[in-house]
Homo-oligomer: A and B are copies of this chain.
Amino acid sequence: MKKVSIGIDIGGTNTILGIVDGKGEIIARYNMASETDTDYSIYMDKLGDAIEAMIKSCSDEIQVAGIGVGAPNGNYYNGTIEFAPNLNFEGVVPVVDHLKTRFDYKVIVLTNDANAAAMGEMMYGGAKGMNDFIMITLGTGVGSGIVANGELIYGHDGFAGEIGHTIVDPGGRECGCGRRGCLETYTSAPGIKRTVAELLSTMNDPSKLRDVSYNELSAKMIDAEARKGDMIALEAFDYTGETLGLKLSDAVAYTSPEAIFLFGGLAQAGELIFGPTKKYMEQYLLAIYKGKVKLLPSELPPGEAAILGASALVWKEFEK
Contacts and interface: CB of A to CB of B under 8 A. Distances in A.
Interface of A: 73, 82-83, 130-132, 146, 148-149, 151, 153-163, 165-167, 170, 177-179, 246, 249-251, 253-258, 284, 286-289, 292
Given A148-B153, A167-B246, 7 more contacts: A132-B155, A132-B156, A132-B160, A157-B256, A161-B256, A162-B286, A167-B250
Contacts of A166: 249-250, 253-254
B253 A255 contact: no
Given A156-B131, A292-B157, A286 B255 contact: no
Given A167-B250, A250-B250, A154 B256 contact: yes
B161 A254 contact: yes
> By DSSP majority rule, is chain A's interface helix, strand, loop, or mixed?
loop
Contact of A254 (B149, B163, B246): B163
Given A73-B288, A148-B148, A255 B153 contact: yes
A318 to B, nearest CB: 18
Contacts of A287: 83, 177-178
A179 B284 contact: yes
Contacts of A165: 253, 286
Contacts of A160: 132, 148, 254-256
